[in-house]
Amino acid sequence: MSLIAIFDGTRFYASCAAVYQPELRERPVVVLSGKDGIIIAASRRATDLGIKKFGPIFEYKTIIEQNNVAVVDANFNLFGGLSRCMHTILERALPISHVYSIDECFADISGIPDPLQFMTDLRRQVYKETRLPIGAAASLNCTLAKVASWCAKKVPGYKGICVLDNIEQIDKVLDIMPVGELWGVGKASTTKLQAIGINTALQLKQMDLKKIQRDFGKPMVVLICELHGDKILSWRQLPEPKQQIFSSRSKRDRIHNAQDLQQAISFHIHEVCEKARKQQSNIKTIQYFCSTSTYDQCRHSASINITLDYPSNDTICFLKLLAEHMPQLLPNGAFIPIYKFGVGAISLTDARFEQADLFAPKHDERLMEALDGLNTKFGRRTMFLASQGTKLIGERFESKQLRNVLTRWSDIPIIHC
């Protein structure tokens, strides 16, 4: 019988933070994406206190102070190093495997006599060598392996490991699984499905395929076929590049002048351009936007869409465009409490197949490659353009730097015998 397994790190970033700093293991831990104050990971103790991922840290200031929550900045060098250690151990034990993300690995474990015991032993081995807890799940295909992974984490009694190898077991789990938890079902699809009375994964599985294809398209039909046990999707399929890229931020303490707003938006230009370069895309149309909160007495909302004759992913190009159009976003001298601002690449082209043009402006690709390479190797904002400013605009929350035990001699742990 064919069995596809998935192994994934349990609250991976929060777990990584405590590997070389054992004093964090008994405390609630939240990990911030950087100085912008967005929570990207939280330990179980932290989520039990009501702290949620992807929210701004200032919303939980009281909870953090009252419960001695450890707040740390993300250290992607450390996370990447521990990820490589985890995947090396998994690849050593698995006959056929594929690294799906920094904390996930798919594997074909067909033919293994006792898959449950095999995965149990492998989880123990990973924890023994890395001190990283991982979950393990297996089923008939990739989609059902994700269903089993959800079951291992959310359904009482499974304790982080689950094997669903027959339709009866699968249907019992699908009957209690919210449709929005399925792999590949986003917020928009969830809302649309719930509007026609589909609330659980089992209800979706039982839908008529012709109706689903008419209303939702082929990807949803493929998902339903996988829920029936068919093996269609492969973990080796590369994800399609994003059609749009956005980066935005909300500030509780507001921004009140054009200079600070330009600096804040410059940071998001860098984020969007870096993501575009990473997926080998050029930006054809870019959007800059800002607005006040609905609770502010003074209301203001502005956005600018700029379409380029020659698409680009050069950060410097878009910083110059921002400088030219700032008066349209925020009138000079106006005291307006800007709450939300950001940047969106709303039209992208494939940089690999751009046709050369004699009259196209030249961009320094090597400079951008060097910028991305240095920030990847030594950490975010190691090198940046001066227009972003040396200090991020807005409220700060005191957070600690994780030790760079893999890249800095002074941070290597000292063992006293």
- Tally the domains of the chain: 3
- Give me the helix-helix angle, 365-378 and 315-329, nearest 10°: 90
d(C-alpha 315, C-alpha 266), whole Å:
9
Write the pLDDT tens digit of every residue in 150-198: 999 999 989 899 999 999 999 999 999 999 999 888 888 899 999 999 9
Ranges of residues in the chain with a pLDDT under 50 are 238, 394-396
Phi and psi for 282 in degrees, rounded to 5? -110, 150
Give yes or no for a contact between 135 and 152, defined as CB atoms under 8 angstroms apart: yes
- Cα 26–chain centre separation: 26
Q: Going edge to edge, which strands form the sheet with 70-73?
A: 39-42, 29-32, 70-73, 400-401
* pLDDT computed for residue 34 by the predictor: 64
In a domain, 49, yes or no: yes
- The C-alpha atoms of residue 331 and residue 261 are separated, in whole angstroms, by 11
Asked if residue 406 belongs to a domain, the reply is no
* 262 is a domain residue: yes
In a domain, 133, yes or no: yes
Domain residues for the domain of 318 are 245-395
Dihedral of the alpha carbons of 214, 218, 224, 228, in degrees to the nearest 10 = 120
Rounded to 5 degrees, φ, ψ at 343 are -140, 140
**Does residue 391 share a domain with residue 255?**
yes
- Residue ending a domain, choose from 109, 131, 165: 165
160 and 20 both lie in a single domain: yes
Q: What are phi and psi of 183, to 5 degrees?
A: -65, 120
In this prediction, residue 387 carries a pLDDT of 81
Q: Where are the alpha helices (DSSP H) in 9-73?
A: 12-19, 44-48, 61-66
pLDDT at residue 254, as a whole number? 84
Please tell me the predicted confidence (pLDDT) of residue 240: 63
